[in-house]
Structure 1
Amino acid sequence: MKKRIVITGLGVAAPNGVGIPAFTKALKYGVSGIRHNSLLEELQFSCQISGEPEISEELKSHYFTELELRGFNSSGILYGVIAGMEAWNNAGLPINENPDWDSGAIFGSGTSGIDKFRESIYKIDDLQTRRLGSTVVAQTMNSGISAYLGGKIGLGNQVTTNSSACTTGTEAILMAYDRIQSGQAKRILAGSTSDSGPYIWAGFDALRVCPSKYNENPSQGSRPMSASAAGFVPGSGAGALVVEDLESALERGALIYAEILGGNVNSGGQRNGGSMTAPNSTAVQHCIKNAITNSGINSNDINAINGHLTATTKDSLEIENWTKALQRKDTNFPYINSLKSLTGHCLSASGSIESVASVLQLHESFLFGNINCADLHPEIALLIDHSKVPLETINTNLNIIAKASFGFGDVNACVIFKKFEN
């Protein structure tokens, strides 16, 4: 018999809100975290706007010691530790003096410490590489984020970092779910993080998948599902969730935000239309269908979808895939929204930040609006009714949300969240 697995802690460092209270308020009031980026302008990027969490020195000192901050220059680890520690504290869990064998971390990342590595190399020449310094390894190894969190909390179960492009965060949650389901852990701190900066975003700007005509109006730049969408706004941040066995959560009297019913991860193998940058639609539909089957529900039970929806030409194809996978369209289609209208595309952090937003919507009974989508793309309008793409926040009692992420390399992940009922 399947275990019931729930979410007992949330944490976030998002472009439009650092910390759950600020992030929740931003969701409800449609506050954008996309701002003009003077460095991107200086470097003559075509897209000169971005979504980055605003982290004060005071907040840094709350999570890192003075010694740790000396020579510290890894934005991904910074965001991940802030989000991860908030989720752990939010779950009412202690910092352990000895390893907690029942608790672990699966915390994903796309890259780690790019700016730190560049800074270190810039200061030396090839004949002086031994002078890189003692902090470079921990800040630049891809598993740096899970290692930092494991050490700060005292985690004794699996502590690892996954990496699957834009599906990373959603995949981490499902990996945590599977580990608990198999009885190998009671709780896992799951999430993902993404570095900020031009060394992360330059390739996307060169691919011309980022908008260039909203540099003077940053909050209007990210336009998922819109006829005037011009590409995704680069973003960064981190999201974190404490995924826990229901029995353990009830035993310690934890606040339960939502339940994870199940999900699915797959790949299109870069076949049948799929490529490094394009999805195999058959695989996307399989992923959604298998997530629903694995969760023990049917497609009509889904009240809302939090899509991947990046504000590129693939948005209409994603909606088409949802209609085919669910066998629902027009007015029978669920509500759908995209957090990227408020944050930009946070890359490897997108799935976890968007999952935090999905769980908050279930827990607090609202559906945030899709800003910048008054001009719904005509191809999407042929598939689903305008009313299913709310422009402003709706107060509504949602029961089940499907959250999906689709990433470079033709990889897919879909998780099904449900409002908790004991």
Structure 2
Amino acid sequence: MDKRVVITGLGVVSPNGTDLAQFRHAIRNGISGIRHDPQLEKLLFSCQIAGKPVIDDERLQQYFSPLELRGLQSTGIVYGVIAGMDAWKNAGLEPAAPDGTPYWECGSVFGTGTSGIDKFREAIYKVDDLQIRKLGSTVVAQTMNSGVSAYLSGKLGLGNQISTNSSACATGVESILMAYERIKSGKATLMLAGSTSDSGAYIWGGFDAMKICPYQYNDQPEKGCRPMSASARGFVPGSGAGAVVLETLESALGRGARIYAEVLGGHVNSGGQRGSGTMTAPNNEGVQRCITMAIKEAGIGSGDIDVINGHLTATSKDVTEIRNWAAAMARQGGAFPYINSLKGMIGHCISAAGSIESVASVLQLSEGFISPNINCEDLHPAIAQLVDPKRIPTACMEHDFNILAKASFGFGDINACIIFKKYQHG
């Protein structure tokens, strides 16, 4: 039943681009979406910068009815619906007719970390004040984690598996792999996959309390997130959503769809919080095993990987991640693949990170370029010992390549790695 699976649609809502054209321009040109956040300053956060997409009312009205917009406070649902519907349209697909039948062979796996925290807070206050009847009829749909998948299913008429996964920072890559497996096993023809993350103080406050977000760049927001840099001081929080449409190669060719890339396979695992692994730190053996198993399941060798889009959050763990890549692939110095991190431009978008970065990865693979590592002019010396600095470009490179590995590593010592391949026509 194994089938080849390709990507035919892309959608994104990112701090540096809220549609595919804006995002493509930004990642090619190293444009940051990280800004000063007045709310974080007012609340006396130590880190007062963040990556937050800006969606105006006119744009919202293209995706939501006036009734849906009434009381809609879940930014995660907003970002996810826009990215998901844009990916569907980008794939040349239309929603099922409102009075017709669902697309029985089409489903969705769309992940999130939380949903509707602001709405949930409002509801708690109303319950405390005995105003239960004033909660509103959408409070459940906005605060259940599966809300984003439910909204997308209803808007598009999807009749296959409709699921929401949640695996911290690994959520986005995991969602794409889950959708890939559904298609490859013959249980679906087409799947919409991705992930989303709410924005705001209630999401980011915990990270600020952990003192893992930088305060040194509050007056220079665009310089704040510095993956692989010697002057990195922690990750900058971000939010948004990314989405991809996956389908069988047979289906894509049959309807004449544009094919961005092929998914060769991947792997998801956990380090079990044993050895070096904890709630917030990776078990290095688990990370290396995830990478080597992804390579094996993709049917390639480690020497076939041309480019890596890393997790690389601008913390002390960047050095650890590079060491794990080098060990897993047995490649160092000039033999190490080109590697980049999108987080310098958008921050760490938590549960949306893997999906937004996967969209960026597929664009790079499809169009033959490697996005720059901004804010990495002072490469960490421990990384420079493992990787030829020329393999860590600080300016956009026009470079045709064949295979890209994308990985995300999350809280809870969980890992996900996916292998994308340039699609060869004919």
Fold-level similarity (TM above 0.5): yes
Per the alignment, residue 344 of structure 1 pairs with: 347
Which of 112, 115, 118 aligns to 1:112? It is: 115
Indicate yes or no: 2:255 matched with 1:252: yes
Report deviation, 1:324: 0.3
Indicate yes or no: 2:416 matched with 1:413: yes
Per the alignment, residue 68 of structure 2 pairs with: 68
Which of 387, 390, 395 aligns to 1:392? It is: 395
Report deviation, 1:134: 1.0
Q: Which residue type is aligned with residue 165 of structure 2? A: N
Report deviation, 1:382: 1.1
Per the alignment, residue 305 of structure 1 pairs with: 308
Per the alignment, residue 384 of structure 2 pairs with: 381
Confirm or deny: 8 A CA contact 1:193 1:237 kept in the other structure: yes
Deviations 1:19-75 (A, max 9, x none): 110000001111000000000000000000000111111110000011110111000
Q: Which residue type is aligned with residue 419 of structure 2? A: I
Deviations 1:363-399 (A, max 9, x none): 1110000000010011111111111110010000021
Per the alignment, residue 51 of structure 2 pairs with: 51
Q: Which residue type is aligned with residue 46 of structure 1? A: S
Per the alignment, residue 271 of structure 2 pairs with: 268
Indicate yes or no: 2:102 matched with 1:87: no
Instruction: Give distance in 2, aligned partners of 1:365 and 1:48.
Output: 36
TM-score in terms of structure 1 length: 0.99
Q: Which residue type is aligned with residue 179 of structure 1? A: R
Instruction: Give distance in 2, aligned partners of 1:126 and 1:167.
Output: 38
What SS class does the counterpart of residue 165 from structure 1 fall into?
coil
TM-score in terms of structure 2 length: 0.98
What SS class does the counterpart of residue 127 from structure 1 fall into?
coil
Per the alignment, residue 193 of structure 1 pairs with: 196
Which of 138, 143, 150 aligns to 1:140? It is: 143
Which of 228, 231, 236 aligns to 1:228? It is: 231
Q: Which residue type is aligned with residue 303 of structure 2? A: N
Instruction: Give distance in 2, aligned partners of 1:76 and 1:106.
Output: 15
Indicate yes or no: 2:139 matched with 1:167: no
Instruction: Give distance in 2, aligned partners of 1:403 and 1:4.
Output: 19
Report deviation, 1:121: 2.6
Indicate yes or no: 2:33 matched with 1:33: yes
Instruction: Give distance in 2, aligned partners of 1:70 and 1:133.
Output: 10
Report deviation, 1:124: 4.9
What SS class does the counterpart of residue 187 from structure 2 fall into?
coil
Deviations 1:298-355 (A, max 9, x none): 0111110000000001000000000000000011000000000000000000000000
Q: Which residue type is aligned with residue 228 of structure 2? A: M
Indicate yes or no: 2:334 matched with 1:328: no
Per the alignment, residue 178 of structure 1 pairs with: 181
Indicate yes or no: 2:290 matched with 1:291: no
Instruction: Give distance in 2, aligned partners of 1:399 and 1:7.
Output: 15
Confirm or deny: 8 A CA contact 1:7 1:258 kept in the other structure: yes
Per the alignment, residue 42 of structure 1 pairs with: 42
Confirm or deny: 8 A CA contact 2:126 2:134 kept in the other structure: no
Confirm or deny: 8 A CA contact 1:121 1:132 kept in the other structure: no
Per the alignment, residue 215 of structure 1 pairs with: 218
What is the aligned length?
Answer: 422
What SS class does the counterpart of residue 62 from structure 1 fall into?
coil
Report deviation, 1:259: 0.4
Instruction: Give distance in 2, aligned partners of 1:125 and 1:297.
Output: 57
Q: Which residue type is aligned with residue 47 of structure 2? A: C
Per the alignment, residue 315 of structure 1 pairs with: 318
Range that drifts further, 375-384 or 103-112? 375-384
Instruction: Give distance in 2, aligned partners of 1:179 and 1:3.
Output: 10
What SS class does the counterpart of residue 264 from structure 1 fall into?
strand
Which of 105, 123, 137 aligns to 1:102? It is: 105
Instruction: Give distance in 1, aligned partners of 2:393 and 2:42.
Output: 37
Q: Which residue type is aligned with residue 128 of structure 1? A: Q
Which of 338, 362, 370 aligns to 2:373? It is: 370
- Quick one: percent identity of the two aligned structures? 65
Instruction: Give distance in 1, aligned partners of 2:276 and 2:237.
Output: 25
Name stretches of at least 5 consecutive residues in structure 2 with no aligned partner: none
Range that drifts further, 376-385 or 351-360? 376-385
Per the alignment, residue 7 of structure 1 pairs with: 7
Instruction: Give distance in 2, aligned partners of 1:293 and 1:319.
Output: 20
Report deviation, 1:126: 4.8
Instruction: Give distance in 1, aligned partners of 2:213 and 2:129.
Output: 35
Report deviation, 1:118: 1.1
